[in-house]
């Protein structure tokens, strides 16, 4: 536990699993507020965002909506057919590339797949066409928001600079989020018109649930809340999953024995080249080990942001009011006190281990912990396992330019998510 003075802000950095457990689980109410980056204040997003709201009645209501209508097991089972179709579209796109010998930009293709997967879950329609420019604006705007959000901002460390936004980050992200909110608003308008024309329609997607909730209590949950909740979900659910899949593919391709072992398991359980259904993931323990090891070594969000609203004592240290608290997830996952040979990618370390990624084992907390834990863990784990398994079970893979497996780079680029410095371009080879 380390105290720093970053500009005018007192910052506490936590980089051990024991201290992370203390503040995220045992004292999570004291540490449950969020640091609000200046860029997030555009469009008053921090007042409507389930990610940045303090623990309050609105936050609890929005979390309840998510947990009850989007991320619970029976709802995920009911929408499984949507994810299966998007995975098939993903594999079909890779198949066309394999026929022509073209490489696949794994991160970009996964990002577009996640956009369409989420948009089908929310709105029952695609927003991106991987073969054309349909939906390109939607994709580009989400990318732009993520890029700007990940830039270091002087205004976050010198509050007097917030008035002038010296780097222009808030202005630029405001333009991007305006576009995204307009696009989301257009989809909502389209649905409202459909409801007017067909009042007895039988839509069951997440937008329908939110509109019904808003009609029941418009003062507590209105259209503005719906738009900003969709914005949260698109931003949180696309780049994180696609970058994690890209890291998983890089690590598997770097070590051919891991790819062979995963393929052998898939062939035995599923059948070579066959589509994977979500129920099969429970019978693919080595694939699950690969997913966990990827999340350990390359967590999608390397640092968790929080703050304290009052003076707090933690682990014998005094943490003053308004301190920014950074939980260094990346460092914890690579801590030699917790992991043997921590910088080596070894899925086998999870083979006989009960350690999981769902916030109870603080040696690996890619989704956070405590009451602010990411509610989308069930969807994220299903999606990551299915996407990775589908790619490995449908094709062999080699790096573009015949780069030797061991020469694939693993350089990192820090931002909101832990992305690769250079995209993975991989050529799918028919089995």
Residue 39 CA to residue 199 CA, distance in Å, equals 40
Kindly state the DSSP code that residue 134 receives in the 8-state scheme. T
Per-residue pLDDT at 406? 87
Q: Could you give the count of Cα atoms lying within 13 Å of 262 in the half-sphere of its Cβ?
A: 30
Distance CA 19, CA 332 (A): 10
| CB atoms near residue 342 (< 10 Å) | 16
* CA 111/CA 143 separation, integer angstroms: 9
What would the pLDDT profile of 9-36 be if each residue is shown by its tens digit? 999 999 999 999 999 999 999 999 999 9
- End-to-end alpha-carbon separation of the chain, Å? 50
Tell me the mean pLDDT in the region 365-383: 93
CA distances from residue 264 to 124, 157, 259, 268 in whole angstroms, order as listed:
36, 51, 8, 6
371: its two tokens: 């009451």
Predicted pLDDT at 133: 58
Which parts of 135-197 fold into alpha helices (H)?
136-149, 169-197
Place of tokens 């593919």: 249
Burial of 87 (0-12, 13-18, 19+ CB in 10 A): buried
Would you say 97 and 104 are in contact if contact means Cβ atoms under 8 Å apart? yes
Q: Which CATH architecture has domain 2-399?
A: Orthogonal Bundle (1.10)
Can you read off the two tokens belonging to residue 104? 């696949």
pLDDT average, residue stretch 211-216: 90
CA atoms of 259 and 253, how far apart (whole Å) = 7
DSSP state of 412: E
Average pLDDT of the segment spanning 417-423: 78
Neighbours of 413 (CB within 10 A): 12
The token pair at 313 is: 């004592």
Which pair of tokens denotes residue 286? 């080595």
Instruction: Give the pLDDT of residue 139.
Output: 73
Report yes or no: 24 and 368 within 8 Å, Cβ to Cβ: yes
DSSP-based three-state secondary structure for 396: strand
At residue 9, what are phi and psi to the nearest 5 degrees? -105, 130
Closest CA to 70 of 204, 203, 186, 202: 204
pTM, full prediction: 0.93
CB 1 within 8 A of CB 323: no
Read off the tokens for 94.
Answer: 């890779």
- For residues 156, 161, 164 and 170, what is the CA-based torsion angle, rounded to 10 degrees? 0
Short-list 362, 352, 431, 372, CA closest to 396: 431
pLDDT tens per residue, range 257-292: 999 999 999 999 999 999 999 999 999 999 999 999
Domain boundaries, the chain: 2-399
Strand partners, 420: 412
- Note the maximum CA span of the chain: 63
Strands 418-420 and 412-414: antiparallel
The predicted pLDDT at position 132 comes to 65
HSE, CB side, 13 Å, CA atoms: give it for residue 208: 13
Q: What is the mean pLDDT of residues 380-397?
A: 95
Binned at pLDDT 50, 70 and 90, residue 381 comes out as: very high
Higher pLDDT, residue 343 or 136 = 343
The whole-angstrom separation of Cα 87 and Cα 110 is 10
């Amino acid at each position: 536990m380390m105290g720093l003075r970053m500009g005018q802000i007192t910052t506490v950095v936590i980089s051990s699993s024991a201290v992370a457990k203390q503040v995220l689980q045992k004292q999570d109410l004291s540490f449950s507020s969020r640091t609000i980056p200046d860029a997030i204040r555009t469009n008053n997003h921090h007042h409507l965002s389930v990610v940045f709201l303090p623990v309050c009645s609105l936050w609890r209501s929005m979390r309840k909506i998510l947990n009850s209508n989007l991320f619970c097991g029976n709802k995920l089972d009911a929408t499984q057919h949507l994810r299966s179709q998007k995975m098939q579209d993903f594999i079909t796109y890779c198949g066309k590339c394999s026929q022509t010998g073209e490489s696949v930009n794994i991160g970009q293709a996964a990002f577009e797949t996640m956009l369409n997967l989420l948009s089908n879950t929310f709105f029952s329609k695609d927003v991106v066409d991987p073969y054309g420019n349909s939906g390109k604006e939607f994709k580009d705007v989400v990318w732009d928001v993520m890029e700007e959000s990940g830039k270091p901002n002087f205004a976050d460390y010198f509050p007097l600079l917030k008035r002038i936004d010296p780097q222009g980050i808030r202005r630029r992200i405001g333009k991007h989020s305006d576009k995204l909110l307009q696009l989301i608003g257009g989809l909502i308008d389209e649905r409202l018109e459909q409801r007017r024309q067909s009042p007895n329609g039988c839509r069951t997607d997440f937008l329908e649930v939110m509109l019904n909730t808003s009609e029941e209590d418009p003062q507590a949950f209105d259209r503005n809340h719906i738009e900003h909740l969709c914005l949260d979900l698109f931003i949180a659910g696309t780049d994180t999953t696609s970058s994690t899949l890209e890291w998983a593919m890089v690590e598997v391709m770097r070590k051919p024995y891991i790819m062979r072992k995963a393929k052998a398991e898939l062939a035995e359980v599923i059948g070579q080249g066959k589509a994977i259904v979500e129920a099969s993931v429970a019978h693919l323990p080595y694939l699950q080990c690969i997913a966990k090891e990827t999340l350990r070594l390359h967590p999608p969000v390397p640092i968790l942001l929080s703050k304290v609203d009052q003076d707090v004592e933690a682990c014998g240290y005094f943490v003053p009011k308004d301190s920014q608290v950074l939980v260094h997830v990346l460092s914890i996952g690579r801590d030699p006190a917790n992991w043997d040979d921590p910088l080596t990618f070894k899925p086998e370390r999870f083979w006989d281990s009960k350690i999981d990624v769902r916030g109870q084992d603080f040696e690996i907390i890619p989704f956070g912990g405590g009451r602010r834990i990411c509610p989308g863990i069930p969807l994220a784990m299903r999606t990551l396992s299915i996407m990775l398994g589908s790619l490995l079970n449908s094709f062999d893979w080699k790096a573009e330019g015949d780069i030797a497996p061991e020469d694939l780079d693993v350089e990192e680029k820090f931002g909101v998510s832990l992305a690769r410095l250079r995209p993975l371009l991989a050529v799918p080879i028919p089995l």
